């Protein structure tokens, strides 16, 4: 029995070569490639401009490992959370985040996560595997369809802020972004895509060297090493100075400023010294700051800081001409907000 291959792991050139070796014309590979990507076909039977014999031959040799939206939850604020079942029955989550003017897809890059950030629900799931490029791509397609259905316009933006650390699945994430931005895929602008990372210096430098066109966000949460390490153990391996060196390199190569994602927690990083440290760090690289509302993950160890603490941060940043935005969380009632993705669907 022939072991079927994942057809979307093949390049267009490999598909063309397959058809030539099968005695067909190379353009047939172009047709199939279009069905697989820009038309997001779920099965070979969907490929209606290809003969039944050719479709049967494809069925004998290949599989389309398409994702399935196994469960969809809608929040009171319009946010949608998808439980995505993969071909091997593992599950990840993705989120559609609507505003009055746009819709954003928050997509996952790994099943689980290995980084152990103490405030994040996903970190409590062990990392099972990386997602393939097509599995990342399919999340975006599904959310684009939901955006059109429920919000009457196509998907506007994509953030890699779902389950997993994108830079620990580097090759697959970049392949997915290449297809999302390709005219042969979804044709989205790279400027509307943001990759969010805990900050892995060597991989940030690699992205800069490869001249990627998407935006970079870094989960910072403290500009004091001992505080950041308490929340994010990876800071022991790559401290704030090493991260800063990589971010300065990123800006030197790309000329695009970084977004710092920053949560303020009660009794952890809510003092004036914490805000001052952030200001000093921000002055060293062109950036803006998103202050993010914290979303509890049941145990109460981390608690949202007071409004006064948030105001103190805003004042400190704005008085130093650093752009700051306060991000209110969406989808909290269905555990779809930032840091809550942990395959909780009930």
What residues are annotated to the active site? 93, 338
Are 140 and 154 a contacting pair, CB within 8 Å? no
The enclosing H or E element of 260 equals strand 258-263
Q: What is the CA radius of gyration of the chain?
A: 22
Are 236 and 229 a contacting pair, CB within 8 Å? yes
Which backbone phi and psi does 188 adopt, to 5 degrees? -80, 150
Are 326 and 291 a contacting pair, CB within 8 Å? yes
* Terminal CA-CA length for the chain: 41
Nearest 5 degrees, angle CA 254-CA 177-CA 139? 140
Are 288 and 257 a contacting pair, CB within 8 Å? yes
Q: What is the DSSP string of 201-224?
A: HHHHHHHHHTT--SEEEEE-S-SS
Reference 331, options 82, 118, 112, 147; nearest CA is 82
Q: How many angstroms separate the CA atoms of 219 and 118, rounded? A: 13
Q: How many angstroms separate the CA atoms of 100 and 295, rounded? A: 22
Are 37 and 9 a contacting pair, CB within 8 Å? no
Q: How many angstroms separate the CA atoms of 304 and 306, rounded? A: 7
């Amino acid at each position: 029995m022939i072991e079927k291959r994942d057809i979307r792991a093949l390049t267009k050139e490999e598909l063309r070569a397959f058809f030539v070796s099968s005695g067909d014309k190379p353009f047939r590979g172009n047709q199939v490639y279009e069905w697989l990507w820009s038309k997001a076909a779920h099965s070979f039977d969907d490929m209606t401009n290809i003969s039944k014999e050719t479709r049967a031959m494809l069925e004998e040799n290949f599989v389309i490992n398409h994702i399935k939206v196994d469960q969809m939850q809608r929040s009171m604020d319009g946010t949608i959370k998808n439980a995505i079942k993969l071909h091997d029955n593992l599950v990840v989550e993705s989120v559609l985040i609507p505003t009055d003017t746009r819709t954003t897809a928050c997509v996952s890059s790994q099943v689980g996560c290995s980084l152990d950030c103490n405030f994040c629900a996903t970190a409590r799931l062990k990392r099972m595997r990386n997602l393939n490029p097509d599995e990342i791509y399919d999340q975006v397609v599904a959310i684009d369809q939901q955006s059109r259905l429920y919000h009457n316009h196509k998907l506007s933006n994509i953030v890699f802020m779902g389950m997993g650390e994108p830079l620990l699945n580097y090759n697959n994430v970049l392949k997915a972004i290449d297809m999302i931005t390709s005219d042969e895929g979804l044709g989205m602008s790279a400027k509307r895509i943001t990759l969010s990372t805990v900050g892995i210096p060597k991989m940030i430098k690699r992205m800069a060297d490869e001249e990627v066109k998407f935006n970079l966000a870094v989960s910072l949460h403290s500009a004091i090493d001992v505080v950041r390490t308490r929340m994010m153990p990876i800071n022991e391996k790559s401290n704030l100075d090493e991260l800063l060196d990589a971010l300065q390199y990123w800006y030197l190569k790309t000329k695009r400023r970084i977004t710092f994602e920053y949560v303020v927690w009660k009794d952890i990083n809510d003092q004036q010294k914490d805000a001052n440290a952030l200001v000093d760090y921000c002055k060293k690289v062109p950036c803006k700051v998103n202050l993010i509302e914290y979303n509890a993950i049941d145990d109460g160890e981390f608690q949202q800081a007071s409004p006064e603490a948030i105001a103190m941060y805003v004042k400190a940043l704005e008085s130093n001409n650093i752009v700051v935005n306060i991000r209110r969380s969406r989808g909290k009632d269905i555990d779809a907000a930032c840091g809550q993705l942990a395959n909780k669907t009930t």
